Amino acid sequence: MKHFKTNSLQIVRGAEVLVGMTMTMFFLCNIGMRYINIGSLTGVLVFGVLLIHGLKPERFASIGQKLSQSPSGRIVRKLIRTLRLVILILAVLTTGFMSAGIPKGPDGEDRTIIILGSGVNEDGTPTYVTQSRADAAMKYMKDHPDSPIIASGGLYTSDRITEAESIKQYLINQGIDAKRIYVETDSTSTAENLRFTTALLQKERLPKAVVISTSEFHSYRAGLFATRNQLDHRAITAKTPWYILPTCWMREMYGILDAWIIHRR
């Protein structure tokens, strides 16, 4: 029995090292590709700790023993365990909503096309994620030549053009008529994307039946804010490259919590 327990622990430690090392490298590579955000930084922290725990479990055991030697230490230990459980539950919940939130494609109706921005490169071109959202919307645009288009997104950084302007120029370069394209350049979050875009729909008297082009991991949150703004919405989902998906997924967990707790409009 003792031998079995020893082998089981070795397997668990080996799995921790393998998963921790692989995912830490994933997130570090994302940072190296300039995908530096709360998602990539959280990934390095979480999986870095997992890697260290797999390599040096005795250090964690020693810390646990020291905490157990005083009443305050035992309280801290309980708080850490509770926090770990809460984080795990929230991670599972948000991941479930992200997965379940990937909607069906648009119907045959002519709808206003909304493209949500996600960053601009130093030269003013859309980032890969932003471009993938524009590309995903292109087929719908061509099949619905009378549908207006709203590019939505404000300043990425102060030294670059807005996401909306970057998307508009990209679409024009792909042969889309500029007269079809409206820009919403003030938003700095998904909540603002949908709120300001709704105001633009009303101002320009565009159809409030919309189709939103965004990434698959982002479709639940975009749909949530569309519903809150009373938009009749469908979605076009853009595929995210596998090598940046972990960072996008991790960052979106924070985004969903923000939508649930803070930005409720």
Residue at 76 is within a domain: yes
Helix (H) or strand (E) holding 188: none
Check residues 47 and 69 and name the one with the higher pLDDT.
Answer: 47
> Of the candidates 191, 208, 29, which has an alpha carbon nearest to the alpha carbon of residue 112?
208
Residue 147 backbone dihedrals phi, psi, to 5 degrees: -80, 130
Work out the average pLDDT over 226-246: 91
For residue 116, the SS3 value is strand
Give the structural domain span for 158. Answer: 112-242
pTM of the entire predicted model: 0.87
Residue at 106 is within a domain: no
Residue pLDDT, tens place only, 170-191:
999 999 999 999 999 999 999 9
| pLDDT above 70 as % of the chain | 95
Tally of domains in the chain: 2
Q: Report the interhelical angle of 38-55 vs 57-67 (nearest 10°).
A: 90
Burial of 178 by CB count in 10 Å (0-12 exposed, 13-18 middle, 19+ buried)? Answer: exposed
In this structure, the answer to whether residues 61 and 122 fall within a common structural domain is no
Residue pLDDT, tens place only, 106-161:
777 889 999 999 999 989 999 999 999 999 999 899 899 999 999 999 986 777 89
In this structure, the answer to whether residues 221 and 132 fall within a common structural domain is yes
Residue at 229 is within a domain: yes
In this structure, the answer to whether residues 79 and 169 fall within a common structural domain is no
